[in-house]
Chains A and B, each alone.
Chain A
Amino acid sequence: MSLKSLCRILTFLVAIAGCAFPAAANELTLLNVSYDPTRELYQDYNTAFAKYWQAKTHDTVSIRQSHGGSGKQARAVIDGLEADVVTLALAYDIDAISEKAGLLPTNWQSRLPKNSAPYTSTIVFLVRKGNPKAIKDWDDLVKPGIAVITPNPKTSGGARWNYLAAWGYALKKYGNDETKAKAFVARLYKNVPVLDSGARGATTTFVERGIGDVLLAWENEAFLAVKELGPEKVEIVVPSLSILAEPPVTIVDKVVDKHRTRDVAQAYLNYLYSPEGQEIAARHYYRPRLESVAAKYAKTFPKVNLFTIDELFGGWQKAQKTHFEDGGVFDQIYLPK
């Protein structure tokens, strides 16, 4: 191998490398850093929004997606992943981005309607077809011999909603007795054989690997599982009481200012609240906020009594501190003393 051919090879490699960094054309690009279950939602939504933006401004916008566990994604943004918008599972993760990296102001949640959550969801149960273990409500989850699948609350946003939903139920059941609630939730987690790090992993474990009797899942995940993996395999059971999950969205100020994409990013999020955006959300089993769309899809979404995190837990900051920090309640019940 002569020096000449080595040089030729290197030049060739540099040329390929150049292709990996496409020249910035006049088209706009947004990076939407989102959590796991929204893959299908944003696939559809991005196409719709691009069309809308093209018609409105004659500019082409392409939206890149990144998905992963909500906390993991937030961590990536803090470390420098340049997200124009983040659409995560819980407000706490976006608070963390604001706190630790200063990429957006602390009052971000009030900038968009409804706590910056254009759609909501809740926590339901996914059980085997025919419900062989007759699981009707949270009480059935703590019975001995029932295997419950739920992800790890320390890494999965969905898992934290699961935990808080269980806790909320226990509080209502035992008349706000925190100790009894703690014992209840502890018994529930004793029944958990596998703790995946994300919501998708948990669903895979339950449906594909056939582990567990019941999966605690986002409502939209549960619907998706039934649709994709077969109504002959699984069915949904709605508990008597559950938590209103509000997955929030926001632009990341420092990034959009740097990329000069503030306008299109803002429009991207606003469009989520529009009738078409709400339709797409509803089609993907997210509960829409807009009354008209909600009425249209009322049959899809079962009625369930919902409480919010603010009502029972005083908001995310408090809940995170009490339950999910190192040494918090989850650690206390999950780890030996």
Chain B
Amino acid sequence: MADRVHNEPAAVRWALIATALLFVGLLLFVPLAAVFTEALSKGLSAYVSALTEPDALSAIRLTLLTAGIAVPLNLLFGLAAAWAIAKFEFTGKQILITLIDLPFAVSPVISGLIYVLLFGLQGWLGPWLAAHDIKLLFAVPGLVLATIFVTVPFVARELIPLMQEQGTEEEEAAMVLGASGFQTFRRVTLPNIKWGLLYGVILCNARAMGEFGAVSVVSGHIRGLTNTLPLHVEILYNEYDFAAAFAVASLLALLALLTLVLKSVVEWKALQQRESATRTAGEGPLP
């Protein structure tokens, strides 16, 4: 890949590069820069106070809490689904994969709507829940559920093709050598998939923390209680407090940048692992 054949004349090459850079610059870099510029437009102390104000702090807590529940659950799901799909043969596999992809195809607004239909007072389970004083909708559990829904596919989608590609030989070898199921999983499968797993978790987390549409429908917008960071951004924006809105938004933007960095690191490591695997292929199973 380092020594590419370039038949295109230099002029064409540079024209293409310039166009691509212009496009990416206008579309991606400028808005990103705008977030930080607007955030600091009222000065650093205003920026800090926007982030340490009680409603902002509870929004941060809520976002962390929501992601803290949604991501591990979806991680478990991804592992289970990938294990079942990649290591075994059964009919209906493709259907299952498509079902797992469903939340990707659903608009966030609809993702929230379904929980309103299910748990709302006018919905199927609403009256029962109200009678037992269980608050799901317009409370934290509803937010968590909506976030889980939206991020279900992320880990699974990373793991399934990865584990399919890796096949079953190594696990079977381990079983034959006397390892128990869990041991096999922990010491054979996990090390092989760890970068894909991490990758999926990073993406899942980014989406979970940033989800807006679905959460907006089920939130109730109770200040200091049911507003995640993205919702808090919207609230500040609607209060004319643009500097504060962008300040909170910048926090999310920093999270996004961190996600990108982690992603790159993981991709690089995964590449390394693949390259070393092909190098040692033929030398026997990995330790």
Contacts and interface: CB of A to CB of B under 8 A. Distances in A.
Contacts of A1: 186, 190
A67 B221 contact: yes
B239 interface: yes
A277 B65 CA distance: 38
A66 B119 contact: no
Interface string B244-272: 00000000000000000000000000000
Interface in A174-208: 198, 200-201, 203-204, 207-208
A327 interface: no
B34 to A, nearest CB: 14
Given A21-B140, A200-B238, A204-B240, A78 B65 contact: no
Interface in B191-240: 220-225, 235, 237-240
Given A21-B140, A80-B126, A13 B69 contact: yes
Contacts of B237: 204
A80 B120 contact: yes
Interface string A264-285: 0000000000000000000000
For A16, A76, A198, A204, which residue has the most chain B Cβ atoms within 10 angstroms? A76
A64 B186 contact: no
A36 B242 contact: no
A260 to B, nearest CB: 12
B138 interface: yes
Nearest to A10: B72
Interface in B107-166: 116, 119-123, 126, 129-130, 133, 135, 137-138, 140
Interface residues on B, range: 35 or more
A79 B239 contact: no
Nearest to B138: A81
Given A3-B182, A82-B135, A9 B72 contact: yes
A207 B240 contact: yes
A229 interface: yes
Given A64-B224, A65-B222, A80-B121, A203 B138 contact: no
Contacts of A204: 237-238, 240
Interface string A94-123: 000000110000000000000000000000
B25 interface: no
Contacts of B186: 1-2
A64 B222 contact: yes
Contact of B121 (A64, A101, A229): A101
A208 B120 CA distance: 36
Interface in B1-33: none
Given A78-B122, A100-B122, A204-B237, A66 B190 contact: no
A81 to B, nearest CB: 4
B7 to A, nearest CB: 49
A172 interface: no
A295 interface: no
Interface centre among B62, B138, B223 (most CB of A within 10 A): B138
Contacts of B120: 78-80
A168 B124 CA distance: 43
A31 interface: yes
B167 interface: no
A36 B220 CA distance: 13
Interface size class of A (residues with CB under 8 A): 35 or more
Contact of B122 (A10, A13, A101, A258): A101
A229 B129 CA distance: 45
A68 interface: yes
Given A80-B137, A82-B135, A31 B222 contact: yes
Interface in A1-27: 1-3, 9-10, 13, 16-17, 20-21
Contacts of A2: 186
B116 A79 contact: yes
B285 interface: no
A221 to B, nearest CB: 10
A20 B72 contact: no
| Most A CB within 10 A of own CB, among B129, B220, B239 | B220
Interface string B61-91: 1100100110010000000000000000000
A62 B122 CA distance: 29
Contacts of A263: none
Contacts of B138: 76, 79-82
A129 B135 CA distance: 49
Contacts of B238: 36, 198, 200-201, 204
Contacts of A39: 239
26 contacts: A1-B190, A2-B186, A9-B72, A10-B72, A17-B65, A20-B61, A20-B62, A21-B140, A31-B222, A64-B222, A66-B221, A66-B223, A67-B235, A76-B220, A78-B122, A79-B116, A79-B121, A80-B119, A80-B126, A80-B137, A81-B222, A203-B240, A204-B237, A207-B240, A228-B240, A229-B240
Listed from nearest, the 3 A-B pairs whose CB atoms lie closest are: A79-B120, A80-B121, A81-B138
Interface of B: 61-62, 65, 68-69, 72, 116, 119-123, 126, 129-130, 133, 135, 137-138, 140, 182, 186, 190, 220-225, 235, 237-240, 242
Given A16-B68, A31-B222, A203-B240, 18 more contacts: A13-B68, A16-B65, A20-B62, A20-B65, A20-B140, A76-B220, A78-B120, A79-B116, A79-B126, A79-B138, A80-B129, A81-B137, A101-B121, A200-B239, A201-B238, A207-B240, A208-B240, A258-B133
Interface of A: 1-3, 9-10, 13, 16-17, 20-21, 31, 36, 39, 64-68, 76, 78-82, 100-101, 198, 200-201, 203-204, 207-208, 225, 228-229, 258
